[in-house]
Amino acid sequence: MNRRMVSLLLPLVILLAGIGCVKPPEAPPPPPPPPSVTPGAEVALELTVENTSFDKKTLTVAASAPVKVLFASKEQPLDYHNLAIFKDRTAKEPIFVGEYIDGGESITYRFTAPSIPGSYFFRCDTHPFLMNGQFIVR
C-alpha cells in the first residue's frame, strides 16, 4: 500500500473504530431530598412575599410538630398579606390563620402542625388564587 492510499484510508479507519464507542449522555442528577423533619422538634420555616408571590410553593413539617414561621413582606405599604393553612383547596376547614401584615413588615407565626400526615393547602387570604401552595405533613 502506498502512502497516498494510507492517508486516504486512515480517516475512514478512525471513524469506523469510533462507532459504538460514543459515551452515552449522563443521567440528570436526582432532585434534592425534601427537608428532614424530626418528630416533636420545633420546625422553623421562612416564607417571604414579594411581587404578590410567595417565595416557596411547598412547606414541609413533621406531624404534630410545633411550627414557627417567620413571615416577611417585601411589598409596598398598604399591601396586606397573611398565611392561612387549610385542610384542602376548598379552604372551608382552617388549620391556622395568621394575622395580616402590611408591606415591609414581618411577623412570627406559631402553631401546631396537624397530627395526620398528608398534603394540606396554604394561601394568602388577600390573594388566594395568586398566592398558594402545599403544606406537607409527614
Q: Please give the residue that has the higher pLDDT: either 102 or 7.
A: 102
98-136 pLDDT per residue, tens = 999 999 999 999 999 999 999 999 999 999 999 999 999
Q: What is the DSSP letter of 11?
A: H
Which stretch of DSSP H or E encloses residue 6? helix 3-18
Which amino acid does the sequence have at 128?
P
The residues with which 94 forms a beta bridge, in sequence order, are 86
132 Cβ neighbours under 8 A, 6+ residues apart: 54, 89, 121, 122, 123, 124
3-state secondary structure of 112: strand
3-state secondary structure of 124: coil
Mean pLDDT of 88-93: 97
Tell me the domain boundaries of the chain: 43-137
Check: CB of residue 74 under 8 Å from CB of residue 49.
yes
Quickly state the pLDDT bin for 32 (edges 50, 70, 90): low
**43-137 is a CATH 2.60.40.420 domain:** yes
Q: Is 118 left (phi over 0), alpha (psi -120 to 50) or beta?
A: left
Q: How far apart are CA 136 and CA 131, in angstroms?
A: 16
Check: CB of residue 81 under 8 Å from CB of residue 106.
no
pLDDT of residue 10: 61
Q: Please give the residue that has the higher pLDDT: either 34 or 44.
A: 44
Q: What is the DSSP letter of 101?
A: B
pLDDT of residue 44: 97
Quickly state the pLDDT bin for 35 (edges 50, 70, 90): low
- Reading across the β-sheet that carries 132-137, which strands appear in turn? 58-61, 132-137, 118-123, 84-86, 94-97
